[in-house]
Each structure stands twice: as C-alpha cells, then as structure tokens.
Structure 1
Amino acid sequence: MDIILKNVKKKDFPVLKSLAKSLGFEIIEKIEKPYNPEFVKEILEAEQSIKDGKGIKMTLKEIQDLCK
C-alpha cells in the first residue's frame, strides 16, 4: 500500500520521517517543481523581445492561412 502526504510543513517532516522509520516504512521524497526552468527562461525572453518591439503582428486571416 502506498500513502502520499502532500503539503507537509517543513517543521513536521522530521517527526513524520522518524515515525515512519521506526515503523519500518520506506520514505521517498519527491519535491515537485511546477515548471521546467529552461521553459520559464524561454517564455520570459520571448515576453521581453515583444516588449522590445521585436515581434510581428499578424491578422487572423494570415494566421488561418498558415494553418492550411
């Protein structure tokens, strides 16, 4: 059986860890990062380039023509 604990406070984790260890449970820590840092960097650079005027403007018709 697997038990997953989410949103455990840092101060509570050592207590849970020692309890689980004393009961013979296996502990696997997995820290989730919501976004890939390289992806975030790429998006921020794209936003900056648009602010700097490096983007292009397209009409809806031009976009639809690209999708054909």
Structure 2
Amino acid sequence: MPVARRTDAVLLLVALVWGSSYLAAKTAAVALPVRAVLFARYAISVLAHEHSLPAPGCTHHGAETC
C-alpha cells in the first residue's frame, strides 16, 4: 500500500474512533452523571496505555532485560 493511502486510512480510522467516542460519551452523559462518564473515559485510557509505561526498576523504555 502506498504511503499516502496508508496515511489516509490511518487518518480515517482516527476520525472514526474520535467521532464514535464523542457519540458514546454524549449518549452516556444522558444516562449517567458527567463525572462518572469522565472517570470511565480516563480509566479506560489509562488501562489502554498502561503497557507503554516502562516496568518498575527499568531505567529506560524498551529494555530487553526488564
């Protein structure tokens, strides 16, 4: 796949995820308190990105021995 098409596909995917998360948050805010929706969004984000943090005791990210 050419680089330009791949870039377009990634941008489209980001737009779809971004738009769907807005719609989901808007729908959830109607049924739940706003603070609960915000907490859930941040909690999901932390869990999704937890793997990108270095392990405790590692001096640099991506160490083979950690």
Task: Give the TM-score normalised by the residue count of structure 2.
Answer: 0.30
Which of 1 and 2 has higher RCO (CA within 8 Å, sep 6+)? 2
More helix by share: 2
